[in-house]
Structure 1
Amino acid sequence: MVQLKIINGEREYTPVVVGDIKWSTERAGAPGILTFDVVKDENLNFQEGNLVQLFMGEVPIFYGYVFQKKRNKGKIISVTAYDQLRYLKNKDSFIFEGLTATQFITTVADIFSLKVGEITDTEYVIEKGLLNDKTLFDMFQELLDTTLMNTKKLFVLYDDFGKLTLKNIEDMKLDIMLNQETAEDFDYSTSIDGETYNQIKLAYDDKEAGYQKGFEEKDEGNIEKWGVLQYYEKINSNVGIEKRAKTLLELYNHKTRTLSIKNAFGSPKVRAGCSVAVSLHLGDINVNHYFVCEKVTHTFQGDMHLMDLTLRGSDFIV
């Protein structure tokens, strides 16, 4: 059973909830969202900006703030609350030199008075950067993407019950298995449309030569199968250009595999960015693999707790 709290100054409310409580998270670029309907009575009084907390027993699940209220004639208030990542939609501009993604994130978090928790050291130093008129989400993601391309390490930024948290995705594996018994339904798809590239082209301005130069890395075998799927990027200099191109090809030169699971038995540990083990039979293909949670939506109603997951993986074990 979950417990919902709304805190308005010194007053704490445990409102009567009607229907489902839904908690959704995405791996990148979006805040956590909590939606619910409550009964308006003579005691309940809360406003936009008030604190919302959700617990499952003693386990803290969500810590965020009321951003929207809708009321109907039946005295039902529909509430949308976001976690702290909602404030990463703010825009700004920054110039920096010689910082890791970790250092930049903690510096900007301090400027915007964000609460910080466990922040893993990304280690890779980014020489310099100009981030002009971008959301904080986009800034942070740009630095994390640069780190990924140069180190092959993927980091996940999320809100852990009111604290900004950054972790290596390898440290977010859960001891949870999804299979035929724990999932009601699923959809599986493979695609080369979107984030699949078999040719990488990086270009830079050679000031001494007076014209643009570039470097290419490609997979002739996959070009033969799929045609040319090119990733193009203009970079500042040729420093590390070969390594960057090879890393990009390694990251993107494969089919994307997406698995959507509906109405699985819920666990409060599961959020976007975590990896879960999946063991399913998809026709003549056996899936027995860890998948990354791209999006997770939990549904709570009374003692019922279910979750829908959008998962991404690399290769299946057939």
Structure 2
Amino acid sequence: MYRKSKSNGKGTTYDLREVVTNIKWSTDLNFSAGELTFDLIQNAHPIIPYTGDIITFRWDHHKIFYGYVFKYEVKEDNTVSVTCYDKSRYLKNQDSIVWQSGTIADRFNNVCKRAGIKHKVVDKPTHKVSAEVCDGKTYFDMVKSAIVKTRTATKHMYYIYCNYDVVELRRAPYKKLKMIIGSKSAMTGFSYAVDINNTANVVKVIQKDTKKSQAKSATAKQDDPKRTSFKSTSAAGKSTEQWGKLQETVNKKNKANHAQMVKQAKDELRKKNRANKELTIDCLGHVDLVAGNAVTIKINDLGKTLKNCPILKAEHNFGADYNCHLTMKVGAEWLGNS
């Protein structure tokens, strides 16, 4: 691991390999920057990586991380705890932009240029999303809006990943790893959870009708019960027999007719009428076990073999016992809830 200081204007580089411990690297598919944390252990006069300093990290000849110090904490025992983020952290910058119709790549290239970060479109989408006004939103949110719309229309999942010092737009799964993580190979522990807390098996699309009042009032803001009525259309799934009625309501899309309301209800039901299944895996470390890739999981205790299981989040703990903690998506491939 190396630290390059820019504060003295000379770009001094420090080799931290002999004094660093507790190295953790995290990647997350949920529009979060890659994070590297570590501790510096020194007997006296610690080398403090100041905010903005560049930290680079390699493991077994692989380029793992290139980023910047965003936080450091000096403790009385001369330990310095450091938190760094990769270049995608600058996509948390906020801005106001009127987007014309275009692809995810159009937005991605635009915001990366505005953020001043090196970037690359690895997998180019062709679907164009409609024009949109984004006022005071982060660059992450602006790209996410296009990603969600593209996923709904094409079933293709795109995501942002920082490949060392280049921020990339990729399509998932980026790699289908040939390795198998199982009860008898590489896996050291697991947890499998199923819940229906955010599930809906009945979706009702609501249209509110309000009759105009003859009296004009600048202060009247609440709906008048005498002049307000609701029309609706619903879509229901067979899971009501097993789970009971789990209903959710949404407002109809602007100017939608009855047929479009029916389609809206069915589309929302398709997304909501499933149990959330989450699998976490503890396993031996491998540098390709990162968010956006897929790997086959075999768990004898559950009698399950999950081929090309999506990695949503990966935490790497480097050291003598290099290991990973993975959060996986089960059952819905890359089309999980937004």
Question: Quick one: which of 168, 189, 195 aligns to 1:191?
Answer: 195
Q: Does 1:173 align with 2:192?
A: no
For residues 175 and 264 of structure 2, the distance between their equivalents in structure 1, rounded to whole angstroms, comes to 26
Deviation at 1:281, TM superposition (A): 2.0
Comparing 226-235 and 248-257, the one that deviates more:
226-235
In structure 1, list runs of 5 or more residues that go unmatched. none
CA distance in 2, matches of 1:53, 1:129: 38
> 1:102·1:119 contact (CA, 8 Å) conserved in 2?
no
Aligned AA (2:298): S
**2: distance between equivalents of 1:214 and 1:60?**
58
Does structure 1 residue 6 correspond to structure 2 residue 3? yes
Deviation above 6 Å: which 4+ runs of structure 1? Answer: 203-206, 211-215
Change in 2 beyond 3 A, CA 1:204/1:130: farther
* Cα distance between partner residues in 2 of 1:62 and 1:213: 54
- Go from structure 1 to structure 2 and tell me whether the alpha carbon gap of 1:212 and 1:85 turns closer, same or farther (over 3 Å shift): farther
Shift of 1:18: 4.2
Q: Which amino acid aligns with 2:300?
A: H
Which residue is equivalent to 1:279? 298
> Quick check: 2:311–2:327 contact (8 Å CA) kept in 1?
yes
How far apart are the structure 2 equivalents of 1:112 and 1:62? 19
SS of the equivalent of 1:125 reads: coil
Provide Cα deviations, 1:75-132, integer angstroms capped at 9, x if missing partner: 2211100111211222122111211111011111111212102342221111211112
User: What CA deviation, in whole Å up to 9, does each residue of 1:231-261 have, x standing for no partner?
Assistant: 6366455499576655544343222211111
Question: Cα–Cα, structure 1 residues 19 and 279, in superposed 2: closer, same or farther, change >3 Å?
Answer: same
Q: CA separation of 1:32/1:171 partners in 2, compared to 1, >3 Å: closer, same or farther?
A: closer
One-letter amino acid of the structure 2 residue matched with residue 5 of structure 1: Y
**1:1-318 to 2 correspondence within 5 Å?**
4-9=1-6, 10-15=11-16, 16-40=18-42, 44=47, 46-181=49-184, 182-194=186-198, 196-201=199-204, 218-226=235-243, 227-230=245-248, 232=250, 235-236=253-254, 238=256, 241=260, 246-262=266-282, 264-283=283-302, 285-301=303-319, 303-314=320-331
Aligned twin of 2:216: none
Deviation at 1:176, TM superposition (A): 2.3
Q: How many residues align?
A: 305
Aligned CA distance change for structure 1 residues 166 and 76 (closer, same or farther; 3 Å): same
The amino acid that maps onto 1:130 is V
Give yes or no for contact 1:83–1:159 (8 Å, CA) kept in 2: yes
The structure where strand makes up a greater share of residues is: 1
CA distance in 2: counterparts of 1:123 and 1:213, whole angstroms: 39
Q: What letter is aligned with 1:27? A: L
Distance 1:169 1:315, change over 3 A: closer
Q: What is the Cα-based RMSD across aligned positions, in Å? A: 2.9
For 1:104 and 1:126, the matched residues in 2 are separated by 10
Residues 90 and 236 of structure 1: CA distance in aligned 2, closer, same or farther (over 3 Å)? farther
Q: Counterpart of 1:191 in structure 2: which amino acid?
A: D
Residues in 2 aligned to 1:202 and 1:90: alpha-carbon distance in whole angstroms: 35
Task: State TM-score, norm by structure 2.
Answer: 0.80
- Secondary structure class of the residue paired with 1:121: coil
- CA radius of gyration, larger in: 2
Question: Kindly, what percent of the aligned residue pairs are identical?
Answer: 25
Q: Which residue type is aligned with residue 24 of structure 1?
A: S
Q: 1:168 to 1:234 in 2, by over 3 A?
A: farther
